[in-house]
């Protein structure tokens, strides 16, 4: 029999061609719970059209890609229980990003370089359209190292089997490179430079400085650490699941990750282990010096721009070259505790994939649910334009309130009663916590009460408030979970974001995707997004209602209101 190591090296030579070829989102470790299985059949909080496996723990989306017309999603998964542990790369495929078919686990511990876990990573297309995955493995010394896997059969559009490089680990901490062995994870999609060399960044930290460590390679197998990181920022802690990609300043179309040139900006995103928030900056990539510099005003810390101001973490984008768009995936974790998750038998879902692009101002990104999700819409309900007086609540009937897509827009004509914005009110989440849905204001709160019980003992409120700033009106968007459930021990954090919208000249739009225990909301046509995870006890099935409300003293006009019940997707 041929030497298996020699055979593997030959296979990698064929696949990679010739000349040019995440502690994860850190988790509590519950060793006594890692392998427990639930037999519960009462599952009111499982989603109907958000991606999730049939059971057990799921976290980070990994290596999303499209290959031969088939979309692939890999994800961090515990095959043995509903809490983090025993991590492998689970794998599902789709033709429409809505309905998904499961496959065997793609990557699982089998080498010294990943024997203690196969953590997050990304997919890159090599010349000839050959996919390759770089991922973090945990070695016998519990060090975080970077590994490579490629498909065994390139003619298989489902990419069922993956083969690991005999050279693994390709990148590892050592005494010379000053890398923190416990903070070195989650390689990005690689990009090809003008010099023919590949670049990739890995998240890390030095003391409390967040780092995007840069490596270069000619053949995608042998990697050399650069002398300086692509970028770093003080007082940000560990950078998990970094993402680095180009965006067009002239079109909403996505770009291949290796694109550089005129009319192109770059985005650097980091998931902050310290706060469990993500932030991104928009800036300039100097490909000659391999340095990324955020634009002036693009804040380089946790108070900067975020994809989502609610439960949304460890996100990953990929370029869909069939529809010329960049798509964002993100993990939505639970608001319950580990013991409840074990009773449920599962934990974690994925947000609806979002198209993402640079706003015409160049100052922020815009996100919108992929268009394919709209084919699940049914039983459309439209409401005529109406004035919503202060203190009023109007039911939106005719839709399945636990499983809906709601699109509403408000118009304001009178601003005299707008509250004055105190200059110290700089944190939107704190402001939303202080001024929840039940706190009357001048202009607002107005918006939607979703997953609401008939007597409003339970509801999740997604709403706007308008304040008078020093030189303009300021729009605050909130997602208030404080009355979302009669359960006392669940996380009911209220989330908030400022939305860059001029209410004098623009309507305030709000779209909410409701799915049993998820409320995913998009304000200002996708300028601000907030995802909430809620577990009502009364607003279940037929006991759930949907309302538009205005708890301000000034009337507002509903200029548009359409709602749809959502059909169940076929997921795993």
Distance of alpha carbon 116 from alpha carbon 111, whole angstroms:
9
Residue 217: how many CA atoms within 13 Å on its side-chain side?
Answer: 19
User: Are the beta carbons of 150 and 170 closer than 8 angstroms?
Assistant: no
Distance of alpha carbon 530 from alpha carbon 520, whole angstroms:
6
Written as six digits, the tokens of 214 are: 């840069």
Strand partners, 164: 149
Residue 171, classed as helix, strand or coil, is strand
Written as six digits, the tokens of 34 are: 């890692």
At 157, give phi and psi (nearest 5°): -65, -15
Residue 144, classed as helix, strand or coil, is strand
At 376, give phi and psi (nearest 5°): -85, -10
Task: Identify the residue whose tokens are 């939305």.
Answer: 499
At 100, give phi and psi (nearest 5°): -130, 145
User: Are the beta carbons of 163 and 217 closer than 8 angstroms?
Assistant: no
Written as six digits, the tokens of 149 are: 């896997």
Check residue 480 and give left, alpha or beta (phi > 0: left; psi -120 to 50: alpha): beta
CA distances from 138 to 63, 87, 178, 486 (A): 18, 10, 18, 41
**Number of residues that this document lists for the chain:** 572
- Report the alpha-carbon angle 280-283-288, nearest 5: 125
Distance of alpha carbon 428 from alpha carbon 303, whole angstroms:
10
What b/e string do you get for 269-286 counting C-beta neighbours within 10 Å, with b at 16 or more?
Answer: bbbbbeebbbbbbbbebe
User: Are the beta carbons of 95 and 570 closer than 8 angstroms?
Assistant: no
Helix (H), strand (E) at residue 57: strand 56-67
User: Are the beta carbons of 388 and 556 closer than 8 angstroms?
Assistant: yes
Written as six digits, the tokens of 103 are: 């496959």
Catalytic residue check, 60: yes
Q: Where are the alpha helices (DSSP H) in 345-438?
A: 428-434
User: Are the beta carbons of 130 and 154 closer than 8 angstroms?
Assistant: yes
User: Are the beta carbons of 257 and 189 closer than 8 angstroms?
Assistant: yes
8-state DSSP, 383? E
Q: Which of 60, 186, 273, 290 is catalytic?
A: 60
Active site residues: 60
């Amino acid at each position: 029999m041929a030497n298996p190591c020699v055979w593997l090296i030959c296979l990698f030579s064929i696949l990679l061609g010739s000349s040019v070829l995440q502690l994860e989102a850190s988790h509590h470790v519950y060793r006594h719970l890692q392998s427990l299985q639930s037999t519960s059949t009462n599952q009111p909080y499982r989603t109907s059209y958000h991606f999730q496996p049939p059971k057990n723990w799921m976290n980070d989306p990994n290596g999303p890609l499209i290959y031969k017309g088939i979309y692939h999603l890999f994800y961090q998964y515990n095959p043995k229980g509903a809490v983090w542990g025993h991590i492998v790369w689970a794998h599902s495929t789709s033709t429409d990003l809505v309905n998904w078919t499961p496959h065997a686990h793609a990557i699982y511990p089998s080498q010294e370089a990943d024997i203690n876990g196969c953590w997050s990573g990304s997919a890159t297309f090599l010349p000839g359209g050959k996919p390759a995955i770089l991922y973090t493995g945990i070695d016998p010394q519990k060090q975080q190292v970077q590994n490579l896997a490629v498909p065994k059969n390139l003619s298989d559009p489902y990419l069922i089997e993956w083969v690991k490089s005999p050279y693994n680990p390709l990148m590892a901490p050592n005494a010379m490179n000053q890398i923190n062995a416990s903070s070195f994870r989650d390689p990005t999609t690689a990009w090809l430079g003008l010099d023919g060399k590949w670049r990739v960044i890995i998240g890390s930290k030095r003391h409390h400085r967040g780092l995007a460590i840069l490596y270069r390679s000619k053949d995608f197998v042998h990697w050399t650490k650069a002398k300086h990181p692509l970028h770093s920022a003080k007082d940000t802690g560990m950078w998990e699941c970094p993402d680095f990609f180009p965006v067009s300043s002239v079109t909403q179309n996505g770009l291949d990750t290796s694109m550089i040139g005129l009319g192109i900006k770059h985005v650097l995103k980091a998931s902050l282990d310290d706060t469990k928030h993500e932030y991104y900056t928009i800036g300039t990539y100097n490909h000659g010096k391999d340095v990324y510099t955020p634009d002036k005003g693009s804040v380089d810390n946790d108070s900067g721009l975020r994809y989502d101001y609610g439960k949304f973490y460890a996100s990953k984008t990929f370029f869909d070259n069939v529809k010329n768009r960049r798509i964002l995936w993100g993990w939505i974790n639970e608001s319950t505790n580990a013991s409840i998750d074990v009773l449920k038998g599962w934990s974690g879902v994925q947000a609806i994939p979002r198209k993402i692009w640079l706003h015409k101002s160049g100052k922020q990104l815009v996100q919108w649910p992929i268009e394919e999700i709209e084919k699940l819409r049914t039983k459309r309900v439209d409401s005529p334009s109406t004035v919503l007086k202060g203190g009023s609540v109007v039911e939106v009937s005719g839709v399945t309130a636990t499983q809906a897509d709601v699109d509403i827009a408000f118009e304001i004509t009178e601003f005299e009663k707008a509250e004055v914005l105190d200059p110290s009110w700089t944190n939107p989440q704190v402001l939303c916590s202080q001024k929840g849905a039940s706190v009357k204001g001048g202009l607002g709160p107005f918006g939607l009460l979703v997953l609401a019980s008939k007597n409003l003992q339970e509801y999740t409120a997604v709403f706007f408030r308008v304040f008078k700033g020093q030189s303009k009106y300021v729009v605050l968007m909130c997602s208030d979970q404080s009355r979302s459930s009669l359960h006392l021990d669940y996380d009911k954090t209220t989330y908030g974001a400022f939305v860059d919208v001029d209410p004098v000249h623009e309507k305030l739009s709000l779209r909410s995707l409701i799915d049993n225990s998820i409320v995913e909301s998009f304000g200002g046509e996708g300028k601000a997004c907030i995802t909430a995870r809620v577990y009502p006890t009364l607003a279940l099935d037929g006991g759930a209602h949907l309302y538009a409300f205005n708890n301000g003293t000034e009337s507002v006009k509903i200029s548009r209101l359409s709602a749809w019940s959502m059909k169940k997707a076929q997921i795993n």
